[in-house]
Structure 1
């Protein structure tokens, strides 16, 4: 039997389940449901799924945005012995015909014959019917409760997490019940989780691993209070996030780096005393490269509202390990490794330096309990401290494989090691990530990291935070070079574009010593991103005229 499901049920039916739960609907119509109430609803969903013919090992897809509907739906699928997959959600700009074709492709890949549909996507029912996709509205799933969970082994699939790649060529990470349990326990131990004290606050999307695993499944498993809003709520009014932490006395939150940069700017407009962030003990920063300056801006602005700077927890994670890989030590704040830029780029050595032009990287902590990490060169030879190479990880939380349109693909190689696709190094037990291997720009024998270029560009006034992307051009050839694509609200003003182009070029040259081939300034919403908000550097290349 799954330890994960056993614990979910034990938590919900015990004292903790009747005292803790999730609050949704903020800020207009907040509603609190205990984990016992979520579970009671989930048992009826599970009963309806079994009646509908869902069998152990079946893949159930979910398309919904309301956390209040998603929580009992995914738990109900697990109780029925099925796996869950959160489908990519269409936006106002999405071509629904293309989205429907992509969805059919994903459902075929995961071998799913059922979609659970919820708000605000109920109106897509005719689109699914037209494509012959069987679906049920979550609100209609209400049968006699399934009193005993369907037994599945630890090796059974619990979650099929769609990756952030092209929707035309989908790939799903297969997370087993054993993977899920191991990573949950590792994260619980690393953050010293206390269900009696902690309250989690999040706007993260539930179709992304950080939101689904970290800020729905984990609090559901251990019975931690959760305040959950949607990405639309956050993007519409970013200051809502710190407001909820203040109002609910949140102790744990998390977000990608860009969100901390955005909210720091918004907090500048607030008067002293409007917020109280003194309760926060963990503000996890992960899911994309961490910009030390963005973190410092967040802690500086938050200090006026009692934010403890020690609450910042820099982390490294990926769906292939369920969620977490490394966490920095709790309540120690951000630690930065400052290294010689020339040695890093030319010799792939990360030597400490206090000289001008040195590079700064956040220290991301040691591996979570149950995981190991190492650094190797391209030939697979183990590298020592401060030698830059490929990061590899292994352990109980590591997925056994991907599902692709061409069939299953294993993820690990000899010895059970997973190649993360990231380049980095070790400082003792602590991990440093330099960037994605496929994105590193190679010019004149130097490795130039796109994040350095992007940080320089976003430092220019008028460039939208989190919306600058460094693009490789003529990759792998002697003519390799790069361009910078940014978003700005001044994109339609010719003189402003000239100013931005000149300022960005100067900043980039100062940062990496190389002039970009071109700078492209676009209006807000133009830079291509994944459904979870990560920059799509390869797709952005199409925006550059060569």
Structure 2
């Protein structure tokens, strides 16, 4: 049996009695708590049914099983059941109210063929999609029916460290799917490294999360790790958060949450709203580890959250800025808790022209001045992982030299599944190219931006995130909803456009005025003028299922639309 499964099963069997830890779901309307032992027993029932399917082949060792559900209370035992059966789990991208179900079914069928899925486990709130699956001949089982099974799996199927545990669909177009293959060994290594670096304690820690379980930070960090460790967890859905974002600090207050995680935009939103909340509305004094990852970290947004939370007992040292990716199972680096946000402020000319991150000092507030660039320090590589920076020839670069980031270690995936077949992820020495540009400072990782998105103009290498943050400072632009995209990439006339969302969209005069303000502000701070500023209605910017900007799709949208 793999080490990961051995530990998970041992944690479930240990969680009995009055002090047993468990999983709470259903907040805020119908909270329900089950101990990890109870989750495990339900998983054994589901696994028993999966191993004895009627009318379809039984799930066995090495089989890929897809899950389409949003309710964490249904997903937790289902995922564990697949692992107990010897299979791997793929969380499918979920349709929204605006999704064309015909297109979704076509793309989903392509994904299922790519991973060789035997079955889809269907649960709330997607039970109504059974007819769509039937129409396309996709085998499925309803999770509510499986949970009532009387067939209990007596013993788990043996799993090796090299067996696949997760097939994590990558961000991007669902029409061109790609899945990261995470083995049991990968999962075990990264889980143990995160537990060590974060100092997670099953006896005392409580994780509170709303992150989607089809994303690696939600699935691995906020479900698999608590399940593995036997740690108390409170889990709601992204829809709950989007409906009422202040539910997040409310749940931390109610359950004494000590650990949480979210992308940068969520901290920015909640920080602004907490600043307007009444005294005593929340108690964040228990929170000791608030991980910020999954998208570029804006020090100013982080500061908004930390400053607003101070009134409710939040320790400034609780914020932890991280670097992670599905290819490393989840986490690559983050600092130990308690240090808070550390910012590196560098000379923009040295960064853009000489590819060096020369420090220029910073104001006590950490605010940028005179066009300086500030980046969050993301800690050193977790145990079992290495990070290095190289140039385009593969030569290892020194301290503060900007280049290509690559990673190596036990948590790094061996490869991908694609529609054209398996694809190796690592070179002969085991290194995986992350696709990011960055540098190292005293072994701490700094991310400047994605290599494919860098805008090259007049000998300068400009990172879109700097332009986007500047655009979002302009009144009328929706916070966190601006994209800077390359035009005529690779040509001598390379240009860039700025695309923003605004409620002013549709009013031609207001759009023009906003575009002028954005262009002026970008020129003032960055020293380059966009060739055009496009104003879109809210919710129009192309994003991945996990909410990241799709800059290539944005460029295509404005050049073809």
Q: How would you bin the TM-score normalised by the shorter chain?
A: over 0.9
Match of 1:284 in 2: 291
Match of 2:26 in 1: 25
Mapped to 1, the partners of 2:525 and 2:257 lie a distance apart of: 37
Mapped to 2, the partners of 1:437 and 1:139 lie a distance apart of: 45
Displacement, 1:518? 1.0
Mapped to 2, the partners of 1:137 and 1:536 lie a distance apart of: 33
Match of 1:182 in 2: 189
Q: Do structure 1's residue 83 and structure 2's residue 88 form an aligned pair? A: yes
Displacement, 1:330? 1.2
Q: Which range moves more in the overlay, 381-390 or 295-304?
A: 295-304
Q: How does 1:275-354 map to 2 (within 5 A)?
A: 275-354=282-361
Displacement, 1:145? 1.2
Mapped to 1, the partners of 2:523 and 2:34 lie a distance apart of: 53
User: Do 2:15 and 2:37's aligned partners in 1 also have CA atoms closer than 8 Å?
Assistant: no
User: Do 2:486 and 2:494's aligned partners in 1 also have CA atoms closer than 8 Å?
Assistant: yes
Alignment counterpart, residue 264 of structure 1, candidates 260, 264, 271: 271
Match of 2:555 in 1: 541
Displacement, 1:493? 3.2
Gaps of 5+ in 2: 362-368
- Which ranges of 4 or more aligned residues in structure 1 deviate by more than 4 Å? none
Match of 2:451 in 1: 437
User: Do 2:15 and 2:36's aligned partners in 1 also have CA atoms closer than 8 Å?
Assistant: no
Displacement, 1:163? 0.1
Q: How does 1:390-405 map to 2 (within 5 A)?
A: 390-405=404-419
User: Do 1:16 and 1:223's aligned partners in 2 also have CA atoms closer than 8 Å?
Assistant: no
Displacement, 1:490? 2.1
User: Do 2:299 and 2:343's aligned partners in 1 also have CA atoms closer than 8 Å?
Assistant: yes
Displacement, 1:459? 1.4
Displacement, 1:293? 0.6
Match of 1:235 in 2: 242
Mapped to 2, the partners of 1:26 and 1:506 lie a distance apart of: 45
Displacement, 1:154? 0.7
Displacement, 1:488? 1.4
Mapped to 2, the partners of 1:348 and 1:366 lie a distance apart of: 21
User: Do 1:452 and 1:511's aligned partners in 2 also have CA atoms closer than 8 Å?
Assistant: no
Gaps of 5+ in 1: none
Match of 1:415 in 2: 429
Alignment counterpart, residue 202 of structure 2, candidates 172, 195, 199: 195
The TM-score normalised by the length of structure 1 is 0.98
Q: Do structure 1's residue 149 and structure 2's residue 134 form an aligned pair? A: no
Displacement, 1:269? 2.7
The TM-score normalised by the length of structure 2 is 0.96
User: Do 1:154 and 1:176's aligned partners in 2 also have CA atoms closer than 8 Å?
Assistant: yes
Alignment counterpart, residue 129 of structure 1, candidates 134, 137, 140: 134
Q: How does 1:58-137 map to 2 (within 5 A)?
A: 58-137=63-142
Mapped to 1, the partners of 2:204 and 2:260 lie a distance apart of: 14
Match of 1:38 in 2: 39
Alignment counterpart, residue 383 of structure 1, candidates 387, 397, 407: 397
Q: Do structure 1's residue 13 and structure 2's residue 13 form an aligned pair? A: yes
Displacement, 1:306? 1.4
Displacement, 1:473? 0.7
Displacement, 1:495? 4.1
Displacement, 1:140? 1.1
Alignment counterpart, residue 471 of structure 2, candidates 434, 441, 457: 457
Mapped to 1, the partners of 2:510 and 2:255 lie a distance apart of: 42
Q: Do structure 1's residue 172 and structure 2's residue 179 form an aligned pair? A: yes
User: Do 2:518 and 2:533's aligned partners in 1 also have CA atoms closer than 8 Å?
Assistant: yes
User: Do 1:283 and 1:313's aligned partners in 2 also have CA atoms closer than 8 Å?
Assistant: yes
Q: Do structure 1's residue 426 and structure 2's residue 461 form an aligned pair? A: no
Q: What per-residue deviation string (whole Å, max 9, x for no partner) do you get for residues 469-497 of structure 1? A: 11111111111111111111222334432
Mapped to 1, the partners of 2:143 and 2:26 lie a distance apart of: 17
